[in-house]
């Protein structure tokens, strides 16, 4: 795919993912036009004055809850990357209707606007919390995944195609535990919810490059899942503050001990490639199954979980993940 000829719109363009995506796309892929779609004028201003101010970059104030505004923003757009979401688990639990309006109804609006505008490709960002969800955030992202996958059927004769990328915890996203541990280190005690807890990890740049890679390859109907390493939260804590004590406060509502990126039911329709898995829609035989001969089917009962993942971060790799945050922390003093 030639990005140089494409007009690209990013919902949630001022968020952690959006900014990194825009940075990499501008530096390496040089799209014809890149549109930042977000609802916060201050964040757009701060982004512009921090260096994101080039002739082919546009800033568009709007909310994914507003379908008319999305239709206007998508006029002439070729590619949409949908990263706008309410993602803080406690905030979603306390404000359930707000999470539903943004994550589910907002996703529906993105789909409708993309269909009406004749957008070529729409890639939505999902999360491991959408698999066997135990909190509202995960449930809204599961619903959003279903919307994007099944909307390929609604496209009918239109060119528009929809797919999803699903991955684990992003180092560097807002709410990441690493800056919290670095702050707590000064007090000599780090709080963790359970010593057994494990998580999938990848960097913001890895997430962005995976989304770009999958957008280039998508045919419509797939959920792309990268092969990424796991780490134990207690190992992360010990690397950041080896001398600090650990205060185990107990698992919180809506939190899992281990995350799942592919469950055993999905495994039946999933194809494994060298660097990723492709989950094909099990309920639709007329789209999304073009990957069948490009990889290897998963064995019956397979589950891709952070606990049983064969790939684990070493102590040295954890230090590499943490290093940028250490530098930022030092710069703040």
Active site residue ranges: 129
Nearest to 178 by CA among 231, 225, 243, 226: 231
162: enclosing H helix or E strand: strand 161-167
Nearest to 215 by CA among 204, 228, 206, 224: 224
Q: What is the DSSP string of 175-236?
A: T-HHHHHHHHHTTTEEEES-TT-EEEEEEHHHHHHHHHHHHHH--SS-EEEE---EEEHHHH
Place of tokens 């999902």: 126
CA distance 297 to 185: 45
Q: What is the Cα Rg of the chain in Å?
A: 20
Coil, strand or helix at 57: strand
DSSP 8-state code for residue 14: T
DSSP 8-state code for residue 155: H
**Cβ proximity of 212 and 24 under 8 Å:** yes
What torsion, rounded to 10 degrees, do the Cα atoms 116, 121, 127, 132 define?
A: 70
């Amino acid at each position: 795919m030639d990005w140089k000829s494409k007009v690209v719109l990013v919902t949630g363009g001022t968020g952690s993912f959006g900014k990194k995506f825009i940075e990499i796309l501008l530096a390496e892929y040089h799209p014809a036009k890149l549109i930042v779609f977000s609802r916060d004028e201050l964040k757009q201003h701060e982004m512009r004055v921090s260096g994101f101010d080039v002739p082919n970059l546009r800033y568009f104030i709007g909310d994914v809850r507003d379908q008319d505004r999305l239709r206007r923003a998508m006029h002439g757009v070729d590619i949409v990357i949908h990263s706008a979401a309410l993602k803080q688990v406690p905030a979603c639990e306390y404000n359930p209707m707000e999470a539903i309006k943004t994550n589910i109804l907002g996703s529906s609006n993105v789909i409708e606007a993309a269909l009406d505008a004749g957008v070529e490709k729409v890639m939505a960002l999902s999360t491991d919390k959408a698999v066997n969800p135990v909190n509202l955030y995960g449930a809204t992202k599961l619903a959003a995944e279903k919307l994007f996958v099944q909307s390929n059927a609604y496209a009918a004769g239109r060119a528009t195609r929809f797919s999803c990328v699903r991955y684990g915890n992003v180092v560097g996203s807002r709410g990441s535990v690493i800056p919290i541990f670095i702050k707590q280190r000064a007090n000599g005690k780090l709080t963790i919810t359970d010593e057994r807890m494990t998580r999938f990890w990848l960097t913001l740049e890895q997430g962005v490059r995976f989304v770009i890679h999958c957008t280039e390859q998508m045919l419509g109907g797939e959920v792309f899942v990268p092969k990424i390493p796991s780490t134990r939260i207690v190992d992360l804590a010990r690397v950041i503050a080896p001398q600090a004590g650990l205060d185990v406060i107990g698992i919180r509502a809506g939190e899992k001990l281990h995350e799942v990126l592919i469950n055993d039911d999905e495994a039946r329709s999933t194809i494994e490639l060298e660097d990723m898995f492709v989950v094909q829609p099990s309920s639709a035989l007329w789209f999304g199954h073009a990957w069948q001969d490009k990889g290897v089917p998963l064995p019956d009962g397979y589950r891709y979980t952070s606990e049983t993942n064969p790939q684990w971060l070493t102590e040295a790799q954890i230090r590499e993940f943490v290093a940028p945050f250490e530098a930022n922390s030092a710069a703040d003093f």
